[in-house]
Amino acid sequence: MYTGRTVFSQLLEFLPKKQFDKCVRRYRGNHRVKTFSCFDQFLCMAFAQITYRQSLRDIETCLRAVGAKLYHCGIRGMMSRNTLANANENRDWRIYAGFAHILINKARTLYADEDFGIQLNREVYALDSTTIDLCLSLFPWAKFRTHKAAVKVHTLMDLKGSIPTFIRITDGKVHDVNIIDELILEPGAIYVMDRSYLDFARLFIFTQNFSTFITRAKTNFDYRRLSYRKVDKATGLRCDQTIRLNGFYASQDYPAVLRRIGYFDIETNKKFVFLTNNFTLSALTIAQLYKCRWRIEIFFKWIKQHLRIQTFFGTSINAVKTQIWIAISVYVLVAIVKKELEIELSLSEILQILSIVLFEKVSITQVLTKTMSQNENIQFHNQLFLFNL
């Protein structure tokens, strides 16, 4: 029997504590703090994410139930719901955003050779956003509509490993296309977006930075065809054209030529029209790359189902951003554990196992890799037989 440290304590080995301390010092997170440090706050909020806690009182009750183990798990300060609420309210959310990016860089290195279905020697990103509905009376700063509040989580995700590389949290009124202005475009990289990002002036910036964009055309798209290439319609392709914009303002915003690709998806029985500035990749590869955009939709569904980003432990913008960034850190941490320990389980299965063994004194490698077949014959050698056959 393993009698060493708890699973929670072993998880801390995957966290670069020195880098976390640098983030804290950068924003003076522990200034005039005596008992409940930023790292204590991070661990309590990470515990809430891993074990599916619903409220501050829920966190307090569960942590006090295992109070004797908290010191050895890294939580050195006295935990109470008021203390945690004040920390979420007042401590700069950028501490946890900066630390999340450190974990993201580590995860991207581990998943650099991950296969997402298409073999390309360049970075491929998916850009999208998800909306989290809030109560307007509790979150007046996030007013979205007349009787509704919401925040948007704008995300740029590396398709290799499904690791988010850029995240911006705004109120619900900020349009998706505005986020393009904040991106640092990588020359040679591919950015896959839906048609909510269709702004020709902004898309021309991708061309000027030698980056590739792939998006969908709108139904009222006005263009003229310059040339075309033959396609194999058995693959679902319908056309591959070189076009130029017709509209006066659109042609000024994007003066270069574009590539228009028509594709019919047999599975969904829908027709898609893609626009891109890339003329070297095959038309079928362009269509397949856009199909890979579903990975970011799955990412949004995953974090909403398995992490606590829809019910918040505070109502201020700082508390909301702190909770979301720590949730992202937990997601990336689980991805790091999966890769470094070479675990075959899915991220959701790993998180479910961790939620029930977090304070058990058992090897984390053993608990995440040991499996037992349902048909395995288990013999209890200390059990006497009633009849000898």
How much is the pLDDT for 3?
52
CA distance 173 to 94: 22
- Is the overall model pTM greater than 0.85, yes or no? yes
CA distance 348 to 364: 16
In contact, 74 and 52? CB cutoff 8 Å: no
Who contacts 308 (Cβ-Cβ below 8 Å, separation ≥6)?
48, 49, 52, 53, 54, 323, 327
Alpha-carbon torsion 22, 23, 27, 33, what sign? Answer: negative
Residue 84: closest CA among 64, 114, 65, 104: 64
Longest dimension (CA), the chain: 94
Q: Tens of pLDDT along the chain (389 residues)?
A: 455 789 999 999 999 999 999 999 999 999 988 889 999 999 999 999 999 999 999 999 999 988 888 888 888 878 899 999 999 999 999 999 999 999 999 999 999 988 888 888 889 999 999 999 999 999 999 999 888 999 999 999 999 989 999 999 999 999 999 999 999 999 999 999 999 999 999 999 999 999 999 999 988 889 999 999 999 999 999 999 999 999 889 999 999 999 999 999 988 889 999 999 999 999 999 999 999 999 999 999 999 999 999 889 999 999 999 999 999 999 999 999 999 999 999 999 999 999 999 999 889 998 898 644 344 444 444 555 545 54
In the block, residue with structure tokens 């801390």: 12
What φ, ψ does residue 174 adopt, rounded to 5°? -75, 120
In contact, 62 and 53? CB cutoff 8 Å: yes
Q: What is the pLDDT of residues 245-285, one digit of tens each?
A: 998 899 999 999 999 999 999 888 899 999 999 999 999 99
In the block, residue with structure tokens 């913008």: 317
Query: Between the CA of residue 167 and those of 130, 180, 334, what are the distances in Å?
Result: 11, 12, 18
In contact, 91 and 26? CB cutoff 8 Å: no
How much is the pLDDT for 147?
87
